[in-house]
Amino acid sequence: MARKSIKGSHNRPYAFYDDKLHEQIIKEERIELLMEDALANQEFIVYLQPKVNLMTEQIIGAEALVRWQRPNGKMITPNDFIPLFEKNGFIKQLDFYIYEQVFGYLRKRMDEGKSVVPISVNVSGVHINDEQFVPNLTDLLNQYQIPPRMIELELTESIFIGALDELIKTLNKLKDAGFIFSIDDFGSGYSSLNLLRHLPIDIMKLDKCFFDAANITKITPKEKAVLSNIIRLGKDLDILVLSEGVETKEQADFLREFGCDLAQGYLFARPMPLAEFNLLLEK
């Protein structure tokens, strides 16, 4: 087993890295032991983060982001478990659990005659080669009687490195079913501009990395050139552009100036529990 060979290598000069790896494996094994029970015990909860129209600053939608609330009150953030769940396959169950929570939330609001906004959910790349994904998702949507235009599917850039033909087929099926699509984390990694021509994308979510360097009262001419041209590309392709991770007024002003339509970030609101989001909507 991997763990044994790592233990046996403690005397080698790379022991530091081995210790780290060992620690990581122990941590992952512990999480794997917990995850099924955590799902059954409803420890995974949905937070919503508002998306705003940059011109009016009105809430035009929200993104569903999972949180893992341990019985001891400790909150675990997605980056600490999503990569592992993608490796061991558990993400398939977890994502569908989140979709069901979101559909149930919308159904309840609509039944009560309360206001709703479209909600986006994250779609792990793991689903794309799963033939059951499209039928399962559309069945769930029908079960809750949610209009598909209320649901935006966020596909992260890294799923676009697989077989393009399969991907195009899957996305077109979902598109025909009426879902809205966005490319998440656009510009952070593998995105090929060419894909924008072939995939039925409605919204580009610009990764917050565009702002990391520009964190910011001064945006350099290079940063300005890159950002403003990506925004223009989106416009020319008839794709809405949303900037993620907007934290300062300067960033928002800059984005407005360059015609970015939508934004999401701590400047406007952090991800929050459903009840809090409802209060915000009703204000």
- CB-hemisphere CA count at 13 Å for 118? 17
Which entry of Mg ion, ligand C2E, none binds 82, CB below 5 to 8 A by partner kind? Answer: ligand C2E
Instruction: Based on the residue annotation, tell me whether 244 is a catalytic residue of this protein.
Output: yes
Rounded Cα–Cα distance for residues 98 and 75 (Å): 17
Q: Where are the alpha helices (DSSP H) in the chain?
A: 2-7, 15-40, 82-88, 91-111, 133-144, 164-176, 195-198, 209-212, 221-236, 249-257, 274-282
Contact (Cβ atoms closer than 8 angstroms) between residue 207 and residue 242:
no
By the criterion CB under 6 A, which residues form the site for ligand C2E?
Answer: 49, 65-66, 77-79, 82, 91, 95, 98, 122, 124, 154, 156, 184-185, 208, 244-247, 264-266, 271
Q: How far is the CB of 15 from ligand C2E (least distance, A)?
A: 32
Which uninterrupted H or E stretch holds 120? strand 119-123
Q: How far is the CB of 176 from ligand C2E (least distance, A)?
A: 23
**Of 21 and 226, which CB lies nearer to Mg ion in the complex structure?**
226
Catalytic residue among 63, 154, 157, 244: 244
Which entry of Mg ion, ligand C2E, none binds 234, CB below 5 to 8 A by partner kind? Answer: none
Q: How far is the CB of 266 from Mg ion (least distance, A)?
A: 14
**Of 91 and 231, which CB lies nearer to ligand C2E in the complex structure?**
91
Contacts of 216 (CB under 8 A, 6+ apart): 248, 250, 251, 254
Tokens 């689903």 map to which residue? 127
Q: How far is the CB of 243 from Mg ion (least distance, A)?
A: 10
Q: Write out the two tokens for 47.
A: 């937070």
Which entry of ligand C2E, Mg ion, none binds 124, CB below 5 to 8 A by partner kind? Answer: ligand C2E
Interface with Mg ion, residue 184, by CB under 5 A: yes
Q: List contacts with Mg ion (CB under 5 A).
A: 122, 154, 184-185, 244
Residues labelled catalytic: 244
